[in-house]
Amino acid sequence: RSTSVNDTDVGDDLGHRVTPLYGALLRDDALNAIAAACLADGMYVTATIKVDRIAFGERWIDHSSKTEGLIDDPTTCPAALDSLIERGRGVASDREELRIEVTATGANIVAGKAPSNAGAARAVRAVLAAMDRHMNGHPLSDADVAKLAGGLLNKRVRDAVVAIGLTGRREAARAVFADVTRRVCGPARAEAATIVAVLAYFACDGALLRMALEEAQREAPKHSLALMVAYALDMQIHPTKFEEALVPSRQILAELGIVVPD
């Protein structure tokens, strides 16, 4: 099974890909050449589809079978249902809708003071409590955002939050730290955006992953974790393999005495 999200494939089998082709590439000879190149590189081509643009109601033509049809509503198609079941949220209608998730709102909230290592466990528990409130319909206050952002300035807290994203609380963590990314300013914004990028990686959400990385690297071009995520993406490392590199984050969560159900 492969998962191709917008323009980035981070699926279960990177050998199976779906490539949207536009403009001059709609010629049959171009389609044949691309399919042959993929096969030569060991990538199995499931189908080649010609479209003018990918949008609801646009006509598609299967290059091989010559069958054709209209593109389904992306928010109600089977892929959207699969996303809703597996990730807890639907498919965005376009990239701009996704970009809003991590675009600064102009609130420019200043992060609170970073906790000491002795206070790291308390800070992580505050994150879990904020996630519970957020998922129960209670928006983060400005004070919540400042406190959570300040917590991320302690590396142990940040890494523990990454570990929470490897559990069944991933979607809640993504929602909370996307909100923090939108509203906070300064170095903590890079930390929050990087967490969103990591969680998007595990969710195979390629478009959100790239957008969150852009926001993180705009704030801190040399951010080490953001650079690691970017490298993993460029090398097309499977999410399960990338998770192995984050074992220390799980260890930190355990050292803090915090148990989060998988």
Tell me the one-letter amino acid at 209.
Answer: L
Q: Where in the chain are the domains? A: 4-71, 102-255
Q: pLDDT (tens digit, 9 = 90+) per residue, 150-165?
A: 999 999 999 999 999 8
Of the given ranges (76-85, 119-128, 186-195), which has the lowest mean pLDDT? 76-85
Predicted local distance difference test score (pLDDT) of residue 68: 84
Alpha-carbon separation of residue 216 from 20, 28, 219, 231 (angstroms):
28, 40, 5, 14
Task: Tell me the average pLDDT across 216-232.
Answer: 93
pLDDT band at 85 (very low <50, low <70, confident <90, very high): very low
Predicted local distance difference test score (pLDDT) of residue 95: 60
Helical pair 187-202 and 224-234, crossing angle rounded to 10 deg? 30
Predicted local distance difference test score (pLDDT) of residue 74: 55
Predicted local distance difference test score (pLDDT) of residue 238: 86
Exposed, middle or buried: residue 167 (CB in 10 Å: 0-12, 13-18, 19+)? middle
Question: Per the structure block, which two tokens stand in for 131?
Answer: 């996630």
Residue 4 vs residue 162, higher pLDDT: 162
3-state secondary structure of 51: strand
Residue 80: is its pLDDT beyond 60? Answer: no
Q: Can you list the alpha helix ranges (DSSP code H) found in 41-169?
A: 78-87, 95-99, 120-135, 142-152, 155-164
